[in-house]
Each structure stands twice: as C-alpha cells, then as structure tokens.
Amino acid sequence: MASWQRPDIRNIWGAALTHHWITTDFAEALLEFITPVDDNIDHLLTFLRDIHRYVARNIGEERMWPLSMPCFIGAEQDIELAQFGSSNIGRMKTLYREGLKNRYGALMQTISGVHYNFSLPMEFWQAWAGVEDAESGKEQISAGYFRLIRNYYRFGWVIPYLFGARRLSAPRS
C-alpha cells in the first residue's frame, strides 16, 4: 500500500494546509519541506535537516525517494492529488493541482526538485543602487531583481551542466 493511501502516515505532522514546515506538493506522496527566512546558512541547513529527520523517524516502513525523477509508477490514475481539506483555500489548492493534471498529466507533475525564494537585504540595494529605503527604491529594486532573473536564465544552465547533467529514470515497460 502506498504512503498516500495510509492515513497513519499522512497525519503524522498534521494538516498539509496549515503546517508551517511540512506539506505536500502535487500529490499526496510528494512531501514538501519549508524552511523559514534565514540569513544564516548553517542555521537554515540545520533546520532543514531537523525537518527531514523528524519525517524519516516517523514514517515507519515508508521511505523518502531522494531523486527528482520518481520511481516506477504503475498507472497514472494511482497518483492521488494532494488533499488540503474542505475549506475554500484547501479546495482551491486541490483544484489547482487538478488543472495541472489535466493540462500536463499527473506523471509529469511527479517530477520534483528544489525550489527556493530569496531576497537581497536592504543594505545591498543601498550600496549597489543608492536606494534609501524600500518604498522610495521600489522601482530600482524591482529592476534589479529583473536583471538578476535575466542573468539567471542566461547562465542558469551551467549548474545542471556541471553538477547534475545525467539522465536517471526507471525504464518504461
């Protein structure tokens, strides 16, 4: 029996909609760990390690799949969408995933990866662009982030090329 079909596993950390640090992504079986905003990398990594350890110690015989490509999935209809409850926002989150499933297919949505958000401190913007504060420097800060995004798209391919450019997936039967 898969982990998303076992309520004892699903409910270890509480509701996916309201837990601060542990939720699900596209499917019930896709865990998502959320870390708080932090400017101390060591603290951030310790926090992430602690979330990982908590889940690993509490999922019994289940295991976390460590790769971006999913393991063998027998049939697309076996993939249960993440369930966030019956509140309006919970139903919207599940409906959003239903749309992704209809548009791209459930198998495509089980490919996972790391995503992160970051922002630069005000001190950076003050030194780099001469911004005085967030309100008066809003235009310059936004333009700076767009430049950063453009350069990321321009050079972002280098990271997977150097560190992750290999195909790893289960053979199709």
Strand partners, 31: 24
In this prediction, residue 126 has a pLDDT band, given cuts at 50, 70 and 90, of: very high
Domain identity same for 83 and 149 = no
pLDDT at 1: 45
Inside any domain, residue 1: no
pLDDT at 6 over 60: no
Considering its fold, how many domains does the chain have in total?
A: 2
Q: What is the mean pLDDT of residues 110-115?
A: 83
Domain identity same for 130 and 112 = no
**What count of other Cβ atoms lies within 10 Å of the Cβ of residue 93?**
20
Domain identity same for 39 and 105 = yes
Q: Higher model confidence: residue 136 or residue 68?
A: 136
Inside any domain, residue 4: no
Domain identity same for 139 and 165 = yes
Share of the chain above pLDDT 90, in %: 46
Tokens at 138, concatenated: 């809003």
pLDDT at 165: 56
Q: What is the mean pLDDT of residues 156-167?
A: 74
pLDDT at 63: 85
Question: Which residue type occupies 71?
Answer: C
Residue environment code for 9-25, b if the CB has 16+ CB neighbours within 10 A, otherwise e: bbeebeebbeeebbbbb
Contacts by 99-103, CB closer than 8 A, 24 or more apart: 100/26, 101/26
Domain identity same for 108 and 130 = no
In this prediction, residue 30 has a pLDDT band, given cuts at 50, 70 and 90, of: confident
Domain identity same for 139 and 106 = no
Q: Tell me, what DSSP letter sits at residue 130?
A: -
Contact of 93 with 135, CB cutoff 8 Å:
no
Q: Which domain holds residue 135?
A: 120-172
Handedness of CA 129, 133, 137, 142 (dihedral sign): positive
From 90, 117, 144, give the residue that closes a domain.
117
Contact of 24 with 110, CB cutoff 8 Å:
no
Place of tokens 């995004």: 149
Q: The whole model's pTM is what?
A: 0.71
Share of the chain above pLDDT 70, in %: 87
